[in-house]
Amino acid sequence: MTLLTVEIAAAGYGAVTVLRDVVFEIPEGGRLVVLGANGAGKTTTLRTISGLCRVEGAVRFAGKDVTGMPPHRVAATGIAHVPQGRGTFGDLTVRENLLVGGSGRPGRAAARDAARWLDRFPRLAERSGRPASGLSGGEQQLLAIARAYMAAPQLVLLDEPSLGLAPKITQELFATLDEIGRETGTAMLLVEQNAELALGIAEEAVVIESGTITVRGSAAELRDKDEVRRAYLGV
């Protein structure tokens, strides 16, 4: 069953149109990666789905038309957004950050899930009572991801989770994302510059250039395409 349908005719900020004819679908539990150079429109694609951009066209999620809905209502339909740069609350403790993520759910369910995420990530558990600002970049990314899953979403939007992380930490992060995806069955829409790792955990992929989709296919197909290998895989 289709979970997300994106049919963006045009989207952008005020008078600036960034995306044109960006069309794709994600099935329930599916994983799609959006590749593209800096400034191609990847972040704008995620922001449009989350209700943060002006849009012409349609975005449908879980049987609902979410086009033009304000971001808090889009989030309430079951879409969680992990923004570029993590967006953790530095003054709140690690545990409080998790509870903010679960604030739309009954308190007991949120407290139980916060404890589960802390069990899962011992480095966060050790620092659960300390401000999030003291975490390393990789730990902040884990916290941002766990905070998103605290909302018990059906779809998680991840904007360049590898940004600013060392290669080894990035590899661990992608292995973790792969595991979480399998365990929870939550669909994933991933924007990423690290094409090699992203294609490794995605099923489908699209390439955005200058605001429009130029290549699409299964992750395996994209790995074999010369143009993708040259531009994004450094081959």
Q: Residues in the site for ligand ATP, rule: CB under 6 A?
A: 13, 16, 18, 36, 38-44
Query: Token digits for 64?
Result: 């609902």
- Residue whose C-alpha is closest to residue 153's, from 71, 220, 76: 76
Q: Please give the full DSSP string across 27-50, using - where no structure is assigned.
A: ETT-EEEEE--TTSSHHHHHHHHT
Tell me the CA distances in angstroms from 181 to 128, 134, 201, one per residue in order. Answer: 24, 27, 9
Query: Smallest gap, in angstroms, from Cβ of residue 109 to ligand ATP?
Result: 33
Query: Smallest gap, in angstroms, from Cβ of residue 158 to ligand ATP?
Result: 12
Residue among 113 and 160 whose Cβ is closer to ligand ATP:
160
Query: Smallest gap, in angstroms, from Cβ of residue 14 to ligand ATP?
Result: 7
Residue among 17 and 128 whose Cβ is closer to ligand ATP:
17
Instruction: Look at the block and give the residue holding tokens 């709140």.
Output: 92
Query: Smallest gap, in angstroms, from Cβ of residue 231 to ligand ATP?
Result: 13
Residue among 21 and 65 whose Cβ is closer to ligand ATP:
21
Query: Smallest gap, in angstroms, from Cβ of residue 159 to ligand ATP?
Result: 7
Residue among 85 and 200 whose Cβ is closer to ligand ATP:
85
Residue among 84 and 184 whose Cβ is closer to ligand ATP:
84
Integer Cα distance of 109 and 98 in angstroms: 12
Integer Cα distance of 160 and 157 in angstroms: 10
